[in-house]
Homo-oligomer: A and B are copies of this chain.
């Protein structure tokens, strides 16, 4: 393909080239007219002067509406005042398709209006920047695990049973085999993978049919779940902090322009370096009490609690050793105190809440059977999972990171709905 993209203009200075894209903006200043073109990779200011350019081309200015598709021809010169740092001296314009009156204008629109037009809203500079940062975060996630010899282990989306009850599951008919459910987590399958490959990561969409209408909830979201054989809770915490440091460093390095578009305070992100502070659940409860919160030991933290706990730290904080009662059946108990689970959550700074949840897993067959019973889960559904303890059980640990919450935090967004191209919420299924 002979296309030249705007993000490659530095290699075409002083050349006569063609750029293909859409009109982003235009303005006129007497005899000088400016067309600002976007091609998906950047923005280019094109300039034409009456009398120098042919009149019929000059007059096209009036017919070119916002988002009209076109080819522009001209010479590229460096211009530090121009957005992107380059300018094109126009010699010709070819219109491909005149756009109808574009519904998204510089004026304020309601979020529902913009979400109805999500397929067009994606073109605006802010959404464009967010999704490029999302791309970078996902790239960094895979790089991190691939470079450490982890094997990708895709877990099934359609599953026969739930990890923890069926109340928040999307259900579907599965031929003659009865009901099936959309996965909430690939972890159990990931554990099978870790026993085969040593260290693996599951990475795919997960689903919650939860009626949560908060700024942190989507019904469909992407999760990455590493699982490591022979790892304990400490290894797990170390892996989590190196992982988050890698992600943030990668975005700072490769997407600084996009962070600037979002007016993100970068100094906060630059502090995301290991080691992260680590506090036990009990210490976190003390923090809440000191802040005057009436919190009872044994309960799970809510969003506000997480915000208050994280406010005392300048980087993500790891909270570990939660009461076993509020955590999942597969978590190993603390040998020092069997009321506690060897669990850990990582809370993002600035009130973004839990972005990682993980644990060391119960590796003892009898104890795991007992937990399944205590949680009133059907043992038959977990028989294959129990096989992992029958045949060569080993200590192992892993965690899950929610992609959208991580994107929201790194971008500094109010609501998680802008972190994915086409969000799904309890009241939104379109476009």
Give A residues with C-beta under 8 Å from B: 1, 3, 5, 7, 20-23, 39-41, 67-69, 96-97, 99-100, 102, 117, 119-120, 122-123, 127-128, 131-132, 134-135, 138-139, 142, 146, 149, 151-160, 170-177, 180, 182, 189, 192-199, 204-205, 207, 209, 211, 219-220, 222, 228-231, 235, 238-239, 363, 384-385, 387-395, 420-422, 424, 426-427, 429-431
Contacts and interface: CB of A to CB of B under 8 A. Distances in A.
A119 B424 contact: no
A230 B3 contact: yes
Contacts of A21: 198
A204 to B, nearest CB: 6
A431 B384 contact: yes
Contacts of A100: 390-391
Given A122-B192, A155-B422, A69 B135 contact: no
Nearest to A365: B97
10 contacts: A20-B229, A41-B198, A99-B391, A102-B391, A119-B387, A122-B192, A131-B153, A138-B152, A157-B207, A170-B174
Q: Tell me whether chain A's interface is mostly helix, strand or loop, or mixed.
A: mixed
Contacts of A174: 170, 429
Contacts of A192: 119-120, 122, 421
B170 A427 contact: no
Report how many copies the assembly holds: 2
A232 B119 CA distance: 22
A199 B102 CA distance: 22
A392 B300 CA distance: 50
B422 A392 contact: no
Given A160-B429, A207-B158, A394-B69, A152 B134 contact: yes
Given A41-B197, A134-B154, 12 more contacts: A1-B231, A1-B238, A41-B149, A68-B392, A96-B394, A119-B387, A120-B391, A142-B142, A157-B157, A174-B429, A193-B421, A204-B205
A211 to B, nearest CB: 7
A16 B90 CA distance: 70
Nearest to A171: B172
Contacts of A23: 392
Contacts of A388: 119
A369 to B, nearest CB: 14
Contacts of A230: 1, 3, 20
A195 B231 contact: no
A129 to B, nearest CB: 11
Contact of A69 (B96, B189, B392): B392
A194 to B, nearest CB: 7
A5 B157 contact: no
A139 to B, nearest CB: 6
Contact of A40 (B20, B96, B229, B389): B229
Contacts of A180: 429
A158 B421 contact: no
A158 B220 CA distance: 8
Contact of A97 (B139, B231, B393): B393
B142 A429 contact: no
Contacts of A391: 67, 99-100, 102, 120
A158 B219 contact: yes
Contacts of A231: 1
The 6 closest A-B pairs by CB, nearest first: A40-B198, A384-B431, A119-B192, A122-B196, A67-B392, A69-B392
